[in-house]
Amino acid sequence: MRAAVVGLGWVAREVWVPRLLRHDAFELVAVVEPDAGARERAGALPDGVRVHHGHEELDAAGTDVVFVLTPNHLHGAVAGSLLRRGVDVFLEKPTATEDSHLALLRDAAGAGGGRLVLSTAARHRGDVGELARLVDGGFLGTPRLAELSWVRSRGVPGSGWFRQRRTAGGGVLVDLGWHLVDVLHHLWGPSAVRDATAVASSDFLGRAGSGAAWHRPGAAEPAGGDVEDQLTALVAAEDYAVQLRLAWASHAPVDTTRLVLHGTEGTAELTTTFGFSTCRVERPTLTLARRDGVTDVPLPGTGVGDEYDRQLDALPEAFARTDATAVALREATDALAVVDACYRAAGLR
């Protein structure tokens, strides 16, 4: 597949571009980045990769898929423009921060015929796969409560647009929380939100020592912003409850991601570290607790970021589906409903 990338920020430079360059199923043919500094930080690209200043310059006929990796507020406009031109789009999370963005994508895909696939890398993690095996095997029974947390020790993003509601659409909830909600819906299926209560704060924005040093090594400490860096929520859905705890920075010694699924027949608890932080849980664990005792479930040996390679492996098949766009928009709608309910409950909408 001939691929182009729009946006040369961190996620492009460190995650997607290197993987596209070494993957047998993809050929990187073009990149788009209007900012000269971002183009310089991206470094040299292989001969033959065209560099454009705007996505309108992309050759639709010579491109099979475009990876839209822009700041959040540009997702809808950029992806919508490409879909309307009949180009298939891979869109980084969050898919949208407003319902109007989803409507724009739906209308554009309908008019132009381009197909949409979403970034859902966390679903492709090896440890999440083992958790899915327990769910699919019926070991947990009927879903009752999901306790989901991703608490970083020090991890406030260095890029300024992440910390501005105008450009990011929100803080830690749309950044880290979107991954957790997507994984939950993948494991248990979505459930309509009935009610939510939430509390958000921003105690670590601009605080010395709270920045994600692994994200931009050598960069200055991030300045303040107007988004939340912590959020705690309880969401009552039709079929189960969800407890969320999210933090870009905290007093914890390591970055920890926990997924605890309580069902009528058992409880599964995964303790690991999502993402690329270098301050990680040393030995990820998965346990299954049932009436007959607690079992340690072996986890596969995987490297940091392997889930992104696995999603790339699956992309050609995903785009081949005739219902790709409908699936993507349905999943984005379900995730946004949870995010929006939490923000409204916290008084941030």
**Residues 181 and 248 placed together within one structural domain of the fold:** yes
Q: Is the pLDDT of residue 344 over 60?
A: yes
CB 239 within 8 A of CB 114: no
In a domain, 154, yes or no: yes
Per the prediction, the chain carries an average pLDDT of 94
**Residues 160 and 45 placed together within one structural domain of the fold:** no
Q: For residue 131, give its domain range.
A: 122-308+338-345
pLDDT-derived band at 160 (thresholds 50, 70, 90) equals: confident
324-345 vs 99-112: helix axis angle to the nearest 10?
A: 170
- pLDDT tens digits for 309-337? 999 999 999 999 999 999 999 999 999 99
CA distance 212 to 221: 8
pLDDT-derived band at 297 (thresholds 50, 70, 90) equals: very high
47, burial (CB in 10 Å: exposed 0-12, middle 13-18, buried 19+)? exposed
> Residue 35, by phi and psi: left (phi above 0), alpha (psi -120 to 50) or beta?
beta
**Residues 221 and 185 placed together within one structural domain of the fold:** yes
**Residues 301 and 155 placed together within one structural domain of the fold:** yes
What letter represents residue 220's amino acid?
A: A
**Residues 16 and 127 placed together within one structural domain of the fold:** no
In a domain, 328, yes or no: no
Q: Is the pLDDT of residue 49 over 70?
A: yes
**Residues 201 and 228 placed together within one structural domain of the fold:** yes
CATH number at residue 51: 3.40.50.720
Q: Is the pLDDT of residue 307 over 80?
A: yes
In a domain, 235, yes or no: yes
Nearest one of 101, 100, 76 to 89, comparing CA atoms: 76
CA distance 141 to 179: 24
Place of tokens 């997507």: 182
CATH number at residue 191: 3.30.360.10
Token code pair at residue 280: 């990680």
CA distance 228 to 343: 10
Instruction: Give pLDDT, residue 349.
Output: 77
**Residues 193 and 160 placed together within one structural domain of the fold:** yes
- pLDDT tens digits for 55-90? 999 999 999 999 999 999 999 999 999 999 999 999
**Residues 161 and 178 placed together within one structural domain of the fold:** yes
What letter represents residue 106's amino acid?
A: R
Q: Is the pLDDT of residue 214 over 80?
A: no
In a domain, 198, yes or no: yes
Q: Is the pLDDT of residue 48 over 60?
A: yes
**Residues 168 and 95 placed together within one structural domain of the fold:** no
In a domain, 91, yes or no: yes
For residue 47, the 8-state DSSP code is T
Instruction: Give pLDDT, residue 37.
Output: 86
Tell me what the mean pLDDT of segment 142-166 comes to. 95
Q: Is the pLDDT of residue 218 over 70?
A: no
Count the domains in the chain.
2
**Residues 182 and 293 placed together within one structural domain of the fold:** yes
**Residues 30 and 89 placed together within one structural domain of the fold:** yes
In a domain, 330, yes or no: no
Q: Is the pLDDT of residue 220 over 70?
A: no
In a domain, 175, yes or no: yes
Instruction: Give pLDDT, residue 44.
Output: 82
- pLDDT tens digits for 114-130? 999 999 999 999 999 99
Q: Is the pLDDT of residue 221 over 80?
A: no
Q: Are strands 116-118 and 88-91 parallel, antiparallel or unpaired?
A: parallel
Q: What is the pTM of this model?
A: 0.95
**Residues 81 and 164 placed together within one structural domain of the fold:** no
